[in-house]
Structure formats: C-alpha cells, structure tokens
Amino acid sequence: MSQSKKWLSAGVAVAAVLTLAACSNGSSSKGTSARLKLPNNYSASAKATKAGNNSTLKVAEINDAPFEGITAATIATNAEDSDVFAPGGMGNMFFFDKNYKIVDGGLANQKLDRKNNTATMTLRKNAKWSNGQKVTAKDMEYPYEIIGNKDTVSQQYSSDYENIKGMAEYHAGTAKTISGITYPDGENGRKMVIHFKHMSPAMEYAGNSFIWSSVEPYEYIKNVPIAKLASAPQVRKNPIFVGPYKLDKMVQGESTSWVPNKYYYGKTPKIKHITIQVVSSSNATAAFKAKKYDFSFTAAPSQYPQLKKLKNYAEVGSPALSYGYFGFNVGRYDTKTGKNVMDKNAKMGNKNLRQAMFYALDSDAIFKKLSNGLSWRGNTLIPPAFKAYNDKSQTGFKYDMPKAKKLLDDAGYKKRNGSKWRSDPKGKKLVIYFGAMKSSAATESRYQYDLQQWHKLGLDVKMTSGKPMEMNSFYSTLQQPKQNKIDIFNAAWQTSSEPTPTQLYGETAPYNMGHFVSKKNTQLMANMNNNKSWNLKYRKNQFYAWQKYMNQQAAYVPDNFSLNYTPVNKRVKGYSMAPQDNQLWAELQLTSANLK
C-alpha cells in the first residue's frame, strides 16, 4: 500500500483511459458501461505445500519503461519502484485498518496528543534492518531531514511539513536540525516525539502529509550527502529493508529477486523465493496465458476480456488510489524560494482555453464502450476510493463541442485571415505542445484521438518532439524548474492513503509540475487540516469546495478513475488487496511448485 505520493507510467497504472482507445478504430469489442465489481482477495482452496512454498512466486510489473531503481521511499518518485521493492516493505512503519487509519502492531506505534500538539512514535523492541542492525529513533527522524533539506532530490516536501516546529527554518537552511523533533531516550532509543504547531485529523491516517510513514537507515547512509542519495550504492545496489523479504538480486530496470528476511519482526515469510519482473503491456496477456506469472501489481482494463477467460486464474480488484489527469504548464518553480510561481503571460494561462480543450473530448463515450467497466471519466481530483471526500455532485468536463468553441470565441481565440487554426487573443500564432508517455499501441491511439478532437476545435496541438516520450524523459522534462517543451501533459498520480492534496498541488510542492498557484487554492487546502477540520462535516465541505474550485480553474483536469485489478493464479493462497492485510507478503503461500 502506497504511503506517499508518486507519479505513474502510462498505459497500465493510469488504468483504462490510456489503454482503451486502441479499439476505437474498427474494434469489435462491445465493452460495458456498468462498473465492474470484483472481490478484493483470493485464496486457493487446496492446502499449501512444502514444494510450493520452496518454489518461486512470480510477479509481473506491467510497464513500458524500466523501473528507476530507487529503494528509499523519501526520494522515490514513481510507483514502479514501490512495486518492485514491495516485498522489502519500503521502510513502512505503521499498520492500518480498512480505512487506512493507523493501528498498533507495525514496526512502530503512534500516539497523538491533541492537548500538547505532539505525536509520539515508539518502535517495537525487535525492530531490525535486514542486515541485523537495530532500527532506531534516528531512523524515524532522518526521513524528515531528507525531505526537508534544501538540497534534497526528494519530491515529497510541502508546506504541511512546516507545521512541525523548526521545519521551516531547517528547510530554509537557517537551522542545522529540526527543533520540533526530539528523542526521549536518545537517538539510538525507540521513541521519537514530533512537536506540531497544531494537530490535524489527517495525522490519524497512514500516508498523511504531516507525518512521514517510513524509516530510513541512518547509520547505513549517514555518510552520503543528501543531495547524492539517489545515486548512492546503499540505495541503488545494496539496500537494506525492514519488511519480510530482503533483496537477493537486482537486474537494473528489469527485475528484482527476494529471499526471506530473518530479522523481520512480524510473521515468518512462507515462500522461499520471489521474483518481480517488468513486462511490457503488449506482452502481458500472452505472458499470463503462458502461465509465466502468478499475479501482477495491476493490469490493463483493455485486456480484461482475455484475462478473465483464463481458467487457472481468478480476478481480484479494488478501487484504485491512483487517477489519471491532465496538467497545464502555467509557470515555473523558483529554486531560491522553494515555491511555484504563476506566469501571468503563460501560453496556457487562460482559463477558457484550458476548459475548452476538455469539453472537446468525449471521454464518457470512450469509457462506456471500451473500458469493460474498469475505468470511467473522472469528475474531480479526489478519487472515489476516498468515499467521504470525493464530491459526486461535480460533473467534471462532459463532452460539449459547441461549448468548447464558444469558450474560445469569447476569450478571443479566433481563426484569422482564413487560417485553419485559431490564434491567441492578441492575434499571434498559437501552437500547443502535448506531452505524453511512450506506451502500447492502445495507449498511443488515445493520444491521437485527443489530437484529433483538439484539431476539430481549431487548435494547432502537436506532440512534443513529434511523438510520445519515454517515461523517465517525460517526467525529467516536467520536473525542470522552468521548461517550454510541454504545454499540456497527460500523466497520473499514485496517491497516498490520505487524500490531502497539498503535496501534489501546493505552492511549495515539487510535484506541482504545472506550477498552478493561487491564494484561494492555498487557503482551501490549508482549511482541510486546520483546527476546525476535526469536525468531519467542516472538513468534507473544504474538500468539496477545493474540488469545485479546481474544476473551475482547470489548471489540472481529472482524466479517469478506475478499479485496480489483476489475475491471480489458482496455486496462490492469501492474496489480498484489502488495506488491512498489512503482512500480505509474509502471508502468501503456494499450493504447488508450478503455476496451474
């Protein structure tokens, strides 16, 4: 379960929206408009066997680019890394219930004190790293230093962390330590106390934007400058973990192999070997048909009709915490102040232009016909997996080409002097560059549909570099403090298990790659976690107000929501997507040595 925000690749993790349009030209697929419901767990009826558990569990990471290979949760930026290193636990500290609320029993327990504005984390006595070293209070604190350091490569920082006393000063470089984090029994002890300016109900949930949910091995990496952590061998080649498995072998960008971690504090892992391998989306269905994999982290909705026919597999699914979105480049990131800055003269700075581009897309028709009930048009930037906070009354951008054209006409985007294309309100030539990730033929046909619709609207939109971009190059471009190669981009977020969006769309958020900033946006997000927010009705209303406001501004536009699913081979026991199954990897078992 993801406990931090990360970007996703195209085609699979973005769910149906990027894998459906391949059928739009001459497809015989009828699809369905009904949203599919699947069980969130599967367990083979047969008993686990010694031969089965002594064999290898084979897992597919369906992706059309190599994984980056960063094992430190504080600096990892893509969900693929979280997937391929999942058996090691990614440093996760907390267990949580079906609603992602933190409960006792994990690597550490948490106690909130609203009266004194503190959070106390206490490590269990047998907490150790996979190299046998003790997990310490300093290991719980060090992630805050990594995230908040002014020279960090971490993308997780936002103004919410400045609720910790002393964090703002540390982040600015005017203090060497974070004064609001203390160690009651010393750095090598088991307790850490965080002193806040105020408490928030978000703190009760794993993955919130105030309390980091994982540890980093301070003694193991302390001699590596924080700015160079991403390339350090301790992170890239010889990492250590706190989860049920430890890394046995890694082929960079391609696969990871795992064996049980004898120092794991929890249940003894049952399976002796695990391999996780990257598989392209175009080869995924054939790989499952050939019984090469027990399950995947997610699968493409367009492949569901073929996968559900496999007799020796069962389909398991759960509402995705991820969602697809479009973003516009409307500014830059000021590296000196650590803040995003809007450019009033930005090419995509006109709200009418942004809205028009999405009223021109008939996403509902695409999903109803082709998603097999696994994906649908998104209505806001809060996925429905967060039932209490997704505002169902928001309609988002339903297809309305006449409205799209009127929005442009009213804003002065008109065809002049017999031109095929609209020019900007000042009469200057307007060329819009669309950035998207290289993926399967299915994915890339959706891009062509988008271009087609925008051309019908009279906008001269072209792919950046003339074609889809390799995933790492795509995000590298967007993460530049200032760039002019991409005006509009199609991407996706893997959210954490708490819905506060400050780390994605806040003024100080590095993940705010379109650089949208406004006083109202900042205020609405702050209201989600102020002192009044302990009243659920008030907090819910702030989330609703923010979703409405972001739809009006259309600087970021929801693309799709989905059901995350995978086929599971019928030799597997104990597979689950339920949030409360905190020790999934340790509990998995196999009934036979070979896939059924």
168-202 per-position pLDDT tens digit: 999 999 999 999 999 999 999 999 999 999 999 99
As a whole number, mean pLDDT of residues 565-577 equals 98
DSSP state of 368: H
Q: What is the pLDDT of residue 117?
A: 98
Contact between 528 and 534 (Cβ < 8 Å): no
Q: Which residue has the tokens 């205020």?
A: 523
Please tell me the total number of residues recorded for the chain in this structure. 596
Q: What is the pLDDT of residue 80?
A: 92
Q: What average pLDDT is seen over the chain? A: 93
pLDDT tens, position by position, 521-544: 999 999 999 999 999 999 999 999
Is the pLDDT at 580 greater than 60? The verdict is yes
| CA 586 vs CA 94, 276, 388, 399, 575: distances in Å | 16, 16, 31, 47, 11
pLDDT tens, position by position, 193-250: 999 999 999 999 999 999 999 999 999 999 999 999 999 999 999 999 999 999 999 9
Q: What is the pLDDT of residue 440?
A: 65
Dihedral sign computed on CA atoms, order 418, 419, 422, 428: negative
What is the value of pTM for the model shown? 0.89
Q: What is the pLDDT of residue 15?
A: 31
What single letter denotes the amino acid at residue 495? T
Q: What is the pLDDT of residue 453?
A: 98
Is the pLDDT at 21 greater than 60? The verdict is no
Contact between 502 and 158 (Cβ < 8 Å): yes
Q: What is the pLDDT of residue 6?
A: 56
Is the pLDDT at 121 greater than 50? The verdict is yes
**Chain-centre distance for alpha carbon 411:** 35
